[in-house]
Structure 1
Amino acid sequence: MARHTIYEVAAAAGVSIATVSRVLSKPDVVSPATRERVMSAVEALNYVPTGAARSLAARTNEAFGLVLYELRGPYYAELLSGFEAAAAAREASVVVTLTKNRTHVDQAVRRLAGRVDALAVQAGADVAPVTLEALRRKIPVVMIAGGDDADSFSTENLVSARDLTGHLIDVHGRSSLLFVGNPALAPDIEGRHRGFVEAHLERGLTPRPPVPCQAIESEGAGIAHAMLAGELGADALVCANDELALAIMKGLHGGPIEVPGEVSVTGWDDMMAARYIAPGLTTVRQPVRELGRLVADRIGQLLAGHASSEPARRLPTTVVLRQSCGCP
């Protein structure tokens, strides 16, 4: 397939190539109407800046791009650590783009594609499918925590969430469980919620709707406050990650709602604090550093011309039982 040029984009949008360049590099300095015309032409032509098209053949950049929603929290630290170590082993640097709070996510990702040899993109980073499809025609793109082909890697979510929820129901007799987290925010959280739902349905129970929130400390503190105020009731909280769970436990500590006496609390990630808090946090351990390493290794294989017909790789996770669910 012929590669379209910046001149064709400019002609299609009725602007100069300088304007196209400004839209791609500094979109905020261009009027919304002009920006929309240029980006429509970019998407219609599947245009990617020239550097990205050169990189696959010439490897002139010697860099892997990593597109993440944010870098806050231990999950991202572990993911980046594994990814960077594997890239360094191949003598490649890592260029990171974060999409949280960005107004023009797809433009930023297209610019990044012009500076690197390949991209790893987190499924929850809000990159449009049409942009990903266009980029795949130019450089290797590997998906993290989403996708269903050979160039997609994730950790297992549904089975462990189903087992953990079943444990709360069968072993600890919990009957009013809540899933804390927003399934619409990311495929991995959606998978955990599906496991929560399946555990209920398998037992002939009707799951309660989730408590939609971001998986961050301040949201967990707010949920603890709502429980103490009598605005939210449950005898078990299955949280989307450890950060939420630990914040809830801290907020409830010393109050009338005891963990695990009145309410079981579980998390996801098995961050270091989960092992040392009292009571210890029941959670799910996932190999995030290994996930990052495998993604970078796959990029290296693709750049070397090694295609794969294998299905998406899903790494196993492990339920870790501690005292916060009621276990001794």
Structure 2
Amino acid sequence: MDVTIYEVAQRAGVSIATVSRTLRGTGPVASKTREKVLKAVEELNFTPSRLGVSLAEGRHAANGIVFPNLSGPYYTEVLLGYEEVASELGRSVLILSTTGRTRVRDLVKDLAGRVDGLLIFGHTAPDDVIAELIQVGMPLVFVSREPLAGADTLRAENTASARLLAEHLALHGYERFAFLGAPLVTGDDVDERWQGVRSVLGAAIEAVPTGHYTVDDGHQAALRLLRSGDRPRAIICSDDEVALGALLAAEELGLAVPDDVAVTGWDDIMAARHARPALTTIRQPMRELGARAARALDELITAARSTPNHLTLTTELVIRASCGHHPQEEPR
């Protein structure tokens, strides 16, 4: 891995701020100290990076967010929660959306060089870039990712809620299921949901790819699935957008929900409550995820704490009509 500004400072016996001032010429540095820094730079063959020098100077009042995209209600809610708190803390927010972008590695590193800390969603940033950011001491908070050494992680609970949902559907007597929302990335939210439902339903459920977690992709995948000769009796969707697409597909094919096929989602976005039929789903605290992430990142930036936290927020099964819920039943 490339030599960092921290290694130069250690070799020269000075602070990283002194290394930064020497290389940029932005402040007074004694001649002997300057000589030591330049000697260390030469011995280590150090090439200054914008990221390392910017971190050394600590000169930003902005946070960065790296999301796959901002087109869905889930990302919007997380961002709203984040921005509200960041604004209270006097920090601006720079956003990088990676979907459809080339040179993501360079874009993430460039953003890191312009902010005091980063919120990164899931696995949107390459692993080698994350390793470099951790090494140089960049304050990092990850949302919807498994615990990672050297950074905060924040996510909503998935596995237990998925099991609870699967158990509820099994009690309805359904025997054939599909999980709509793959490909699956090990350790991410959707994979945990899949693992949870599969632990209950076993061979009775299959994973069906959607490509992306959108209404359109859910609609197309559900059309193919429901047109097949051996269609499932219940479709468990990776999120509410995919589930709304499945509801549209069932309607297009003249199938009644839940009488012909049950459909469930995840997130409890506003549209889930007003769908026809109303969507059974798992409610997760999307805006709270963003708000907590902003506060966690501020704690790391201001050195209020130095030990990473790994926090999981509670989710809730919300039973509505799309799974076969009857009026006399009480939602859990």
Interval containing the TM-score (normalised by the shorter chain): 0.7 to 0.9
After the TM superposition, which of the residue ranges 249-258 and 289-298 deviates more from structure 2?
249-258
Residue 294 (structure 2) aligns with: 296
Residue 18 (structure 2) aligns with: none
Residue 167 (structure 1) aligns with: 168
TM-score by length of 1: 0.80
* Contact 1:56/1:303 (<8 A) preserved: no
CA distance in 2, matches of 1:310, 1:103: 31
Q: CA deviation at 1:311?
A: 4.9
Q: How does 1:23-172 map to 2 (within 5 A)?
A: 49-50=49-50, 52-56=51-55, 58-125=57-124, 127-138=125-136, 139-149=138-148, 151-170=152-171, 172=172
CA distance in 1, matches of 2:221, 2:47: 45
TM-score by length of 2: 0.79
Residue 181 (structure 1) aligns with: 181
CA distance in 1, matches of 2:165, 2:141: 30
After the TM superposition, which of the residue ranges 307-316 and 75-84 deviates more from structure 2?
307-316
Residue 206 (structure 2) aligns with: 209
List gaps (5 residues or longer) in structure 1.
Answer: 6-44
Q: CA deviation at 1:48?
A: 7.7
Instruction: Encode CA deviations 1:3-54: one digit per residue, 9 max, x unaligned.
Output: 189xxxxxxxxxxxxxxxxxxxxxxxxxxxxxxxxxxxxxxx997833x335
AA matched with 1:68: F
Provide the aligned C-alpha RMSD in A.
2.3
Cα pair distance change 1:106/1:2, threshold 3 Å: closer
Residue 280 (structure 2) aligns with: 282
* Contact 1:183/1:189 (<8 A) preserved: no
AA matched with 1:242: D
Q: CA deviation at 1:141?
A: 1.3
CA distance in 2, matches of 1:207, 1:310: 40
Larger radius of gyration: 2
CA distance in 1, matches of 2:61, 2:140: 15
AA matched with 1:154: R
List gaps (5 residues or longer) in structure 2.
Answer: 8-44, 327-332
CA distance in 1, matches of 2:131, 2:4: 15
CA distance in 1, matches of 2:316, 2:281: 9
Residue 41 (structure 1) aligns with: none
After the TM superposition, which of the residue ranges 234-243 and 302-311 deviates more from structure 2?
302-311
